[in-house]
Chains A and B, each alone.
Chain A
Amino acid sequence: MLLIECPYCGERPELEFVYGGQAHIARPRQPAEVSAQQWADYLYRRDNTRGVHAERWRHTHGCGRFFNALRDTTTDHFLATYKVGEVRR
């Protein structure tokens, strides 16, 4: 089980968290104006990075807040966690 550092609460076991997919993805501002391909890309295509991955987690069984994390997907080692709105570290 992973040990994850919530930027608000500190280190907690993975069971308290829910994974939220790739971070820093913005919904198109005008969904009606983007092409079908752009909309499908937004909905379905993710980097699926092999290496350092920026991702969202939610501390569901704790403070309930979303935050971002950098994790190496080849080792599952967390490099950093940071609050939503902060730039990627």
Chain B
Amino acid sequence: MPLGLLFQGFRRRPPQRILPAAKPLRQRYDVVIIGGGGHGLATAYYLAKDHGIRNVAVLEKGYLAGGNTARNTAIVRSNYLTVEGVAFYAESVSLFANLSHELDFNIMYSERGHLTLAHTDAAVRTARWRAEVNKHLGVNSELIGPEEIARICPRLNLSRHARYPILAALYHPPGAIVRHDAVAWGYAAAAARLGVDIHVRTEVTGIATEGNRAIGVETSRGAILADKVAIAAAGHSSVLAAMAGVRLPLQSHPLQALVSEPVKPVLDCVVMSNTIHAYISQSDKGELVIGAGTDAYTSYTQRGALHINTHTLDAICELFPNFRRMRMLRNWGGIVDVTPDRSPIIAKTQVPGLYVNCGWGTGGFKATPGSAHVFAWTIARDEPHPINAPFTLERFRDGHLIDEAAAAAVAH
């Protein structure tokens, strides 16, 4: 070991504070963002950076990034099915790739390659379709056969005698893993440097309106006036929007994930299967990170039923027989807000001055930068960016649904 490094290791330095110190609550802000997760913090950052709106508050009822930002499986990909969906996630992936530099904060972006397994003719057809849409839009995806799959992921059980043999896969090389907490912390620190106020333990209890217009919020720490109020609260979006009389087409479901004990590197790509429901990757720490499914019923409990996890683990053991003796370390649940067409809503509402970014369902984390970027645009200019123009509330009335059920990670 070089002596210099050893010297650095023993040097005593006060710990560096990542997040900004708490500030007093002001009585008025230009924009109040409800929800201090990745989406809310990133929206504040882009409002300040791209649109020069710095008198912004982010209100979080718990601690920073303690909701779905901390509860996802930290995977980033853009291999969606619809033109609108691909455009969205592709922008997100490209923003993610440069985010460590932009925020001056290491988000540990790690490109792994992403395999979506196809076990049926219908799934092969969808994979082929997605590959073609992706290539057409400049996103790197292709349909590959068992030989190529074996080369990329040799531990997969490619036997013809499996219960659901693997026929092919959609391979998406840019698929990546990111340290999810760091995304939120990086955005929080960068936004605070630009003048944004971040208030934790500040629960919004009401949205104030005058005439039909949103003019501020009531919080557990007092009232705040604001020109614009933006909701980025994932599973609780319905509850908040209802405070202003807005009824959203959302259903909130528990979504679970679990991790194993940490082991040496055994899996360097991300593997998912919609048919038998498995989603697995290995974190930098060595844990196998497994995404389970949603419970069928609506719930705000942030936990789900054990049989959902068991079902996923059955599928994992079928795909990776040598993981059968792995022990699971912990599991948890988040609350995801699911729309009827599995695509998000990033739009104005019928209440002027009230904006919503919701309906991300099971795919919100990977959209964080792209979603926040266009949400900030929508708030600042009071009109949608071309990328989120199709993702309105009115699409349900007008029949312009954007069906992403086939490409969502979890078969809802």
Contact = CB atoms under 8 A, between A and B. Distances in A.
Interface in B226-270: 236, 238-239, 247-252
A43 B399 CA distance: 11
B248 A45 contact: yes
Interface string B285-310: 00000000000111111000111000
Interface string A69-82: 00101111000000
Nearest to A49: B298
Contacts of A44: 249, 340, 396
29 contacts: A1-B305, A14-B305, A14-B307, A15-B307, A18-B296, A19-B296, A36-B397, A36-B398, A40-B249, A41-B247, A43-B396, A44-B396, A45-B247, A45-B249, A45-B396, A48-B238, A48-B239, A48-B250, A48-B252, A50-B300, A53-B298, A55-B298, A71-B297, A73-B252, A73-B298, A73-B300, A74-B300, A76-B297, A76-B301
B297 A75 contact: no
B332 to A, nearest CB: 16
A31 B252 CA distance: 28
A71 B236 CA distance: 18
Contacts of A19: 296-297
A73 B251 contact: no
A36 B236 CA distance: 27
Interface string B72-98: 000000000000000000000000000
A55 B249 contact: no
Given A40-B397, A75-B301, 6 more contacts: A1-B305, A44-B340, A46-B249, A48-B248, A55-B298, A73-B300
A65 B398 CA distance: 35
A63 interface: no
A46 B300 contact: no
Nearest to B236: A50
Nearest to B304: A76
Contacts of B305: 1-2, 14
Contacts of B340: 43-44
Interface string A24-50: 000000000000110011011111111
Contacts of A71: 297
B322 to A, nearest CB: 29
A73 B307 CA distance: 19
A36 B252 CA distance: 25
A76 B45 CA distance: 37
Contacts of A55: 297-298
A45 B247 CA distance: 7
3 closest pairs, A vs B, by CB? A48-B238, A19-B296, A44-B249
Nearest to A69: B297
Contacts of A21: 251
B328 to A, nearest CB: 17
Contacts of B236: 50
Contacts of B301: 73-76
B152 to A, nearest CB: 36
Nearest to A48: B238
Contacts of A40: 249, 396-397
B39 to A, nearest CB: 19
Interface in B189-218: none
A44 B296 CA distance: 16
A76 B250 contact: no
Interface in B309-367: 337, 340
A58 B397 CA distance: 29
Contacts of B239: 48, 50
B353 to A, nearest CB: 21
B372 to A, nearest CB: 23
Contacts of B296: 18-19
Contacts of A14: 305, 307
B377 to A, nearest CB: 26
Contacts of A49: 298
Contacts of B398: 36
Nearest to B305: A1
Nearest to B296: A19
A17 to B, nearest CB: 9
B398 to A, nearest CB: 7
A2 B304 CA distance: 10
B205 to A, nearest CB: 13
Given A48-B298, A73-B301, A37 B247 contact: no
